């Protein structure tokens, strides 16, 4: 599995069908790259932005879950 698919799987646990759009948006806007080009080195930055976005939209508890799950991919 690629990093993109791993991240999608993790995000889909909390965001369901919105995971893909959310991941694409955070990658393009904040990491300035396509999700397919994600590397392990990007995970720290991606985790930070994803957790922040989820916290704003869904709350701290879900953001914490997302953060832990993404960090586990490292």
| Sites of contact with other proteins (CB under 8 A) | 12-19, 21-22, 25-26, 29-30, 49, 52-59, 61-62
Written as six digits, the tokens of 29 are 């806007």
Least distance in angstroms from the C-beta of 12 to other proteins: 8
62/73 with CB nearer other proteins: 62
Least distance in angstroms from the C-beta of 18 to other proteins: 4
- Three-class SS of residue 60? helix
Q: Which of 48, 55, 45, 58 is nearest to 16 (CA)?
A: 58
């Amino acid at each position: 599995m690629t990093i993109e698919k791993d991240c999608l799987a993790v995000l889909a646990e909390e965001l369901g069908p919105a995971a893909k759009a959310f991941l694409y948006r955070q990658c393009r806007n904040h990491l300035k790259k396509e999700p397919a080009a994600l590397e392990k080195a990007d995970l720290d930055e991606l985790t930070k932005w994803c957790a922040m976005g989820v916290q704003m939209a869904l709350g701290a508890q879900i953001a914490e879950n997302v953060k832990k799950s993404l960090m586990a991919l490292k």
